[in-house]
Structure 1
């Protein structure tokens, strides 16, 4: 049985709709798609790309490239001009995400793929929006972890969008334990890795160098890691971050847990973001997003690279397949 994925284009003035149209051109041999969004926006994107698009009822299945089942959440008024987000559309954009998430929770879909949103426009439209990861955590009432991944490298984060001076205070035993447990469980459930090998980066240079460059590794990290190792987790570290990403070392890890955003993600993105994706670990369904923004400056020009959305859909289908075929505990 192929997984059925809910697809949310994101900001209608950005490149998300046209990337979804490109995704609809691929043969449906690994998964089935249903978009949640505005029909007029998708048709306009197809016209800009000069690609076929036949919107079908949400419960239908695509029969040929260019078919896309749609659960319509109409925008108020016409689609915005390319590159010009309209705060009046904020509610409809959030409704698309919320309805798709609830449909996944209810079991109608086995995974969620999301395009890029424009935070400033959503907030200007009266939505107190931090990010889709946080929105999905609230909807599902699950604790989550943000992971960025590309072929050969998966990086999960203990802290995400914090000023650097706040990171050390946010690195609590509870936060580290939660991140490691969710990452470990996701490696098993979603990626099918029975005994995942998880590298844990130290917070300080040289992983604190036995306390001479900071004591977080000694006082916070090691006690947590020892306790979780006693539960059966295979945790390596704390490791100096400047050498942990060497190619020969990465071969020994299934995932890397970084303490803060810019400790792990620049390395991942330096290898190119065309195949990079954003995964939300800990949800009751797989969610994978593109690892790029709305690209308002090139929207409607037909030059946006769809590789990240293709990678997101392929990985979401893979994760859904693992969950669908997991034997009950």
Structure 2
């Protein structure tokens, strides 16, 4: 994303060895053939963070109740892929959660286990850079009112770290990616399909973050309703990236962007955040993005595939990515070099 490194106003993305390293492998790219079109009936819904509020609660059988410290609401952003049938709808009679690329706002969730005697916290908890995906089996949608019910949504953590500070014992870091999936049961919710082209989709969620250091055991729970929207006339651009492995080739795939126009890929090592990008006229969803790739030109369908080689020295680096065009942007992604 062209943050205009030559402009004078405002902060500039800080130089660092990791940033230089990332630039070196992400700039080693070449456009490939266009992506195949998404299956008919697949729709990409964008979360509405302002009306998506998650409450934090939890309990530790070893230490007691877990209390949140963020103060401001916790929300979700990213993109949600839902298959809706029939493809000619609305109204729709069937749906299925196919995938998601969701992350929490803010990117740090803070909690403690209080000392009942009023002393310092017994345990301090930080959940950092939590990102997740969702999936489900097909479910029925009532065409007369848009209700769906009794759906088992599988939640998979794809990124994130839990940091547990136990005074007198030490600090333990727990990678959350790769934890077994857990179910979030939807008793009843609705899709608003009666005011096209703007479609709203509500999804009640319960996210269970398991915590176990050996001396501390507990579950941190985030629950609330994910509210998302989709404009049938203007589907959002989708940014996808294959798993990144040091010493191998990876690819970034863009679909649904503005056709035959320049495209940039921005990155940040600082996490999510809002930064105005003057040359694009948009606010990014990652903090102080640095232009890594671009400009490249999308094809006549707004698609682009970029391939690059990943050096061995990049292993363990976490980076936030977002694509952009003039007046247009994709959702953000967080990836870690394996």
Does TM, scored on the shorter chain, surpass 0.5? no
User: Comparing both chains, which one has the higher relative contact order based on Cα–Cα distances under 8 Å and sequence gaps of 6 or more?
Assistant: 1
Q: Which has the higher strand share?
A: 2
When normalised by structure 1's length, the TM-score is: 0.24
When normalised by structure 2's length, the TM-score is: 0.23
